[in-house]
Structure 1
Protein backbone atom coordinates (compact mmCIF):
# COMPACT_ATOMS: atom_id res chain seq x y z
CA UNK A 1 0.00 0.00 0.00
CA UNK A 2 2.94 2.29 0.50
CA UNK A 3 3.50 2.25 -3.26
CA UNK A 4 0.09 3.76 -4.06
CA UNK A 5 0.69 7.32 -5.28
CA UNK A 6 -2.96 8.24 -5.83
CA UNK A 7 -4.11 7.34 -2.31
CA UNK A 8 -5.58 10.52 -0.81
CA UNK A 9 -7.53 9.24 2.21
CA UNK A 10 -7.30 6.14 4.33
CA UNK A 11 -9.42 5.12 7.28
CA UNK A 12 -8.23 2.02 9.11
CA UNK A 13 -10.06 2.84 12.33
CA UNK A 14 -11.23 -0.06 14.53
CA UNK A 15 -9.75 -2.86 12.40
CA UNK A 16 -7.74 -4.58 15.18
CA UNK A 17 -4.45 -3.88 13.43
CA UNK A 18 -1.07 -4.20 15.11
CA UNK A 19 2.54 -3.31 14.40
CA UNK A 20 4.43 -0.30 13.09
CA UNK A 21 2.70 2.15 10.77
CA UNK A 22 4.81 2.66 7.62
CA UNK A 23 6.28 6.16 7.69
CA UNK A 24 6.89 6.60 3.99
CA UNK A 25 5.18 7.93 0.86
CA UNK A 26 1.48 8.75 1.40
CA UNK A 27 1.35 7.25 4.92
CA UNK A 28 3.19 10.34 6.20
CA UNK A 29 0.17 12.51 5.27
CA UNK A 30 -2.52 10.59 7.17
CA UNK A 31 -3.75 11.86 10.52
CA UNK A 32 -3.89 9.89 13.77
CA UNK A 33 -7.68 9.67 13.45
CA UNK A 34 -7.18 7.33 10.49
CA UNK A 35 -5.77 4.72 12.88
CA UNK A 36 -8.16 5.29 15.82
CA UNK A 37 -9.25 2.18 17.74
CA UNK A 38 -6.21 0.06 16.84
CA UNK A 39 -4.52 -0.17 20.24
CA UNK A 40 -1.60 -2.27 19.02
CA UNK A 41 -0.54 0.10 16.23
CA UNK A 42 2.50 2.24 16.91
CA UNK A 43 4.69 4.87 15.29
CA UNK A 44 3.97 8.28 13.82
CA UNK A 45 1.43 9.88 13.66
CA UNK A 46 0.33 8.04 16.84
CA UNK A 47 1.79 8.77 20.25
CA UNK A 48 2.70 5.10 20.84
CA UNK A 49 6.39 4.45 20.23
CA UNK A 50 7.30 1.13 18.68
CA UNK A 51 9.50 -0.80 21.07
CA UNK A 52 9.67 -4.51 20.31
CA UNK A 53 11.67 -6.58 22.75
CA UNK A 54 10.60 -9.73 20.93
CA UNK A 55 9.01 -10.35 17.55
CA UNK A 56 5.24 -9.88 17.48
CA UNK A 57 3.22 -12.96 18.42
CA UNK A 58 1.33 -12.90 15.13
CA UNK A 59 4.41 -13.91 13.11
CA UNK A 60 4.98 -16.99 15.26
CA UNK A 61 1.38 -18.07 14.69
CA UNK A 62 1.81 -17.62 10.92
CA UNK A 63 4.93 -19.80 10.97
CA UNK A 64 3.02 -22.47 12.92
CA UNK A 65 0.24 -22.33 10.34
CA UNK A 66 2.75 -22.68 7.48
CA UNK A 67 4.29 -25.73 9.12
CA UNK A 68 0.84 -27.30 9.50
CA UNK A 69 0.02 -26.91 5.82
CA UNK A 70 1.75 -30.14 4.86
CA UNK A 71 -0.20 -32.07 7.44
CA UNK A 72 -3.53 -30.65 6.30
CA UNK A 73 -2.67 -31.37 2.65
CA UNK A 74 -1.89 -34.98 3.52
CA UNK A 75 -5.17 -35.28 5.41
CA UNK A 76 -7.12 -33.71 2.53
CA UNK A 77 -5.61 -35.94 -0.15
CA UNK A 78 -6.05 -39.00 2.06
CA UNK A 79 -9.74 -38.20 2.43
CA UNK A 80 -10.08 -37.65 -1.33
CA UNK A 81 -8.40 -40.99 -2.05
CA UNK A 82 -10.60 -42.85 0.43
CA UNK A 83 -13.74 -41.18 -0.93
CA UNK A 84 -12.76 -42.06 -4.49
CA UNK A 85 -12.11 -45.71 -3.63
CA UNK A 86 -15.36 -46.03 -1.65
CA UNK A 87 -17.38 -44.27 -4.36
CA UNK A 88 -15.81 -46.29 -7.17
CA UNK A 89 -16.31 -49.65 -5.50
CA UNK A 90 -19.83 -48.82 -4.31
CA UNK A 91 -20.79 -48.60 -8.01
CA UNK A 92 -18.47 -51.22 -9.56
CA UNK A 93 -18.78 -53.98 -6.94
CA UNK A 94 -22.57 -54.39 -7.33
CA UNK A 95 -22.16 -54.45 -11.11
CA UNK A 96 -19.55 -57.18 -10.84
CA UNK A 97 -21.31 -59.24 -8.18
CA UNK A 98 -25.02 -58.88 -8.98
CA UNK A 99 -26.40 -60.06 -12.33
CA UNK A 100 -29.67 -58.20 -11.69
CA UNK A 101 -27.88 -54.86 -11.13
CA UNK A 102 -25.72 -55.46 -14.20
CA UNK A 103 -28.67 -56.10 -16.55
CA UNK A 104 -30.60 -53.14 -15.11
CA UNK A 105 -27.57 -50.86 -15.50
CA UNK A 106 -26.89 -51.88 -19.11
CA UNK A 107 -30.59 -51.59 -19.97
CA UNK A 108 -30.57 -48.03 -18.61
CA UNK A 109 -27.38 -47.19 -20.54
CA UNK A 110 -28.91 -48.62 -23.73
CA UNK A 111 -32.08 -46.56 -23.27
CA UNK A 112 -29.99 -43.40 -22.79
CA UNK A 113 -28.03 -44.17 -25.96
CA UNK A 114 -31.25 -44.74 -27.91
CA UNK A 115 -32.68 -41.48 -26.58
CA UNK A 116 -29.55 -39.61 -27.71
CA UNK A 117 -29.77 -41.21 -31.17
CA UNK A 118 -33.41 -40.17 -31.49
CA UNK A 119 -32.66 -36.59 -30.46
CA UNK A 120 -29.78 -36.33 -32.93
CA UNK A 121 -31.87 -37.65 -35.84
CA UNK A 122 -34.74 -35.26 -35.07
CA UNK A 123 -32.52 -32.17 -34.98
Structure 2
Protein backbone atom coordinates (compact mmCIF):
# COMPACT_ATOMS: atom_id res chain seq x y z
CA UNK A 1 0.00 0.00 0.00
CA UNK A 2 1.35 3.41 -0.99
CA UNK A 3 0.24 5.14 2.22
CA UNK A 4 2.03 2.60 4.37
CA UNK A 5 5.21 2.96 2.32
CA UNK A 6 5.04 6.73 2.62
CA UNK A 7 4.54 6.56 6.38
CA UNK A 8 7.42 4.13 6.69
CA UNK A 9 9.70 6.57 4.84
CA UNK A 10 8.50 9.51 6.95
CA UNK A 11 9.11 7.65 10.21
CA UNK A 12 12.52 6.55 8.99
CA UNK A 13 13.43 10.14 8.17
CA UNK A 14 12.24 11.27 11.60
CA UNK A 15 14.39 8.60 13.25
CA UNK A 16 17.43 9.54 11.14
CA UNK A 17 17.02 13.24 11.93
CA UNK A 18 16.57 12.53 15.63
CA UNK A 19 19.67 10.33 15.69
CA UNK A 20 21.69 13.10 14.00
CA UNK A 21 20.53 15.69 16.56
CA UNK A 22 21.26 13.28 19.43
CA UNK A 23 24.77 12.58 18.13
CA UNK A 24 25.53 16.27 17.74
CA UNK A 25 24.10 17.01 21.19
CA UNK A 26 26.22 14.32 22.85
CA UNK A 27 29.35 15.64 21.16
CA UNK A 28 28.48 19.17 22.22
CA UNK A 29 27.83 18.10 25.82
CA UNK A 30 31.28 16.51 25.88
CA UNK A 31 32.79 19.82 24.68
CA UNK A 32 30.75 21.85 27.17
CA UNK A 33 31.91 19.72 30.09
CA UNK A 34 35.49 20.64 29.20
CA UNK A 35 34.97 24.29 28.34
CA UNK A 36 31.96 26.56 28.00
CA UNK A 37 32.39 28.96 25.10
CA UNK A 38 30.13 31.40 23.31
CA UNK A 39 30.46 29.33 20.13
CA UNK A 40 29.43 26.13 21.92
CA UNK A 41 26.45 27.86 23.53
CA UNK A 42 25.43 29.25 20.13
CA UNK A 43 25.69 25.76 18.69
CA UNK A 44 23.56 24.44 21.56
CA UNK A 45 20.90 27.01 20.73
CA UNK A 46 21.04 25.91 17.09
CA UNK A 47 20.60 22.26 18.10
CA UNK A 48 17.64 23.19 20.25
CA UNK A 49 16.07 24.88 17.21
CA UNK A 50 16.72 21.78 15.09
CA UNK A 51 15.07 19.57 17.70
CA UNK A 52 12.10 21.93 18.03
CA UNK A 53 11.57 21.90 14.24
CA UNK A 54 11.84 18.10 14.16
CA UNK A 55 9.29 17.73 16.94
CA UNK A 56 6.96 20.15 15.12
CA UNK A 57 7.23 18.02 11.94
CA UNK A 58 6.48 14.87 13.94
CA UNK A 59 3.46 16.53 15.55
CA UNK A 60 2.19 17.74 12.16
CA UNK A 61 2.42 14.20 10.75
CA UNK A 62 0.62 12.84 13.82
CA UNK A 63 -2.12 15.47 13.44
CA UNK A 64 -2.66 14.48 9.81
CA UNK A 65 -2.89 10.78 10.70
CA UNK A 66 -5.37 11.55 13.47
CA UNK A 67 -7.48 13.53 10.98
CA UNK A 68 -7.52 10.51 8.67
CA UNK A 69 -8.53 8.26 11.54
CA UNK A 70 -11.46 10.55 12.31
CA UNK A 71 -12.85 10.37 8.75
CA UNK A 72 -14.31 6.91 8.05
CA UNK A 73 -15.35 7.83 4.52
CA UNK A 74 -11.86 9.02 3.66
CA UNK A 75 -10.41 5.86 5.17
CA UNK A 76 -12.66 3.65 3.08
CA UNK A 77 -11.66 5.67 0.02
CA UNK A 78 -8.06 4.49 0.37
CA UNK A 79 -9.19 1.08 -0.83
CA UNK A 80 -10.21 2.09 -4.36
CA UNK A 81 -9.59 -1.28 -6.01
CA UNK A 82 -11.86 -3.11 -3.60
CA UNK A 83 -14.79 -0.86 -4.43
CA UNK A 84 -15.50 -3.09 -7.41
CA UNK A 85 -16.35 -6.11 -5.27
CA UNK A 86 -19.98 -7.10 -4.63
CA UNK A 87 -19.80 -7.00 -0.88
CA UNK A 88 -18.11 -3.63 -0.81
CA UNK A 89 -19.68 -2.40 2.44
CA UNK A 90 -18.57 -5.37 4.53
CA UNK A 91 -15.09 -5.30 3.05
CA UNK A 92 -14.95 -1.54 3.42
CA UNK A 93 -15.57 -1.80 7.18
CA UNK A 94 -12.83 -4.42 7.48
CA UNK A 95 -10.51 -2.31 5.36
CA UNK A 96 -11.14 0.71 7.55
CA UNK A 97 -10.31 -1.32 10.65
CA UNK A 98 -7.09 -2.58 9.04
CA UNK A 99 -6.14 0.92 7.98
CA UNK A 100 -6.93 2.29 11.44
CA UNK A 101 -4.67 -0.30 13.04
CA UNK A 102 -1.84 0.55 10.63
CA UNK A 103 -2.21 4.31 11.18
CA UNK A 104 -2.35 3.84 14.95
CA UNK A 105 0.88 1.83 14.78
CA UNK A 106 2.56 4.73 12.98
CA UNK A 107 1.18 7.15 15.57
CA UNK A 108 2.86 5.06 18.26
CA UNK A 109 6.11 5.07 16.30
CA UNK A 110 5.95 8.86 15.93
CA UNK A 111 5.24 9.22 19.65
CA UNK A 112 8.31 7.10 20.31
CA UNK A 113 10.35 9.51 18.14
CA UNK A 114 9.03 12.47 20.13
CA UNK A 115 9.74 10.97 23.53
CA UNK A 116 13.14 9.42 22.79
CA UNK A 117 14.78 12.81 22.91
- The structure showing larger relative contact order (alpha-carbon pairs under 8 Å, at least 6 residues apart) is 2
More strand by share: 1
TM over 0.5: no
More helix by share: 2
TM-score range, shorter chain: 0.3 to 0.5
